[in-house]
Amino acid sequence: MSLKERITNEMKDAMRAKDSERLGTIRLLTAAMKQKEVDERVELDDVAVIAIVDKMLKQRKDSIEAFEKAGRQDLADKEKSESLVLQAYLPARLSAEEVASEVKAIVAELGVELGRAAGPADMGKVMGAVKAKLAGKADMGQVSAAVKAALAP
């Protein structure tokens, strides 16, 4: 079963269980998926759905910070509960050590392709390759820090 089908089935389950909070979050996700399909005239695969979930989680994280700074704990709690629902659709995240080892392997591979040792100027190339390989498997903030560390002289 694809991730998209799983989300649709869980939306139906939430309707049957009358779980309005979970249902609302899943509906936001399905609306974002449908919008992407309509805008780009494509059928979403699991990678594209994971990218949408990642984007929505980042939005929730930013909102939580803003609401907590403004003293609106009620809204921050709502965003946190939505984040928990969305996180269920992501694959297991890699640990910091696993991310660092993957980044080092990619840097070594690209260093060979470039014919020289990679340096800070090659961050864009490395990030492009890392994003393609680790999309949805790791937090991109953590990946960026690992790339900077790997490219440091």
Report domain extents, the chain.
3-87, 96-151
Which amino acid makes up residue 149?
A
At the topology level, CATH places domain 3-87 in Hypothetical Protein Yqey; Chain: A; domain1 (1.10.1510)
Same fold, 3-87 and 96-151: no
Residue 45 token pair: 């695969």
Tell me what pLDDT residue 118 has: 53
**Predicted structure pTM score:** 0.75
Token pair 């919008």 in the structure block, residue: 35
The candidate with the shortest Cα–Cα distance to 26, out of 87, 95, 70, is: 87
Average pLDDT of the segment spanning 122-130: 80
Measure the CA–CA gap between 65 and 88, rounded to whole angstroms.
21
CATH pick for 96-151 out of 1.10.940.10, 3.30.420.40, 1.10.10.410, 1.10.3720.10: 1.10.10.410
Average pLDDT, the chain: 86
Tell me what pLDDT residue 85 has: 94
Tell me what pLDDT residue 17 has: 96
pLDDT single digits (tens) 78-122: 999 999 999 999 888 887 888 888 888 888 777 755 545 456 677
Measure the CA–CA gap between 114 and 130, rounded to whole angstroms.
16
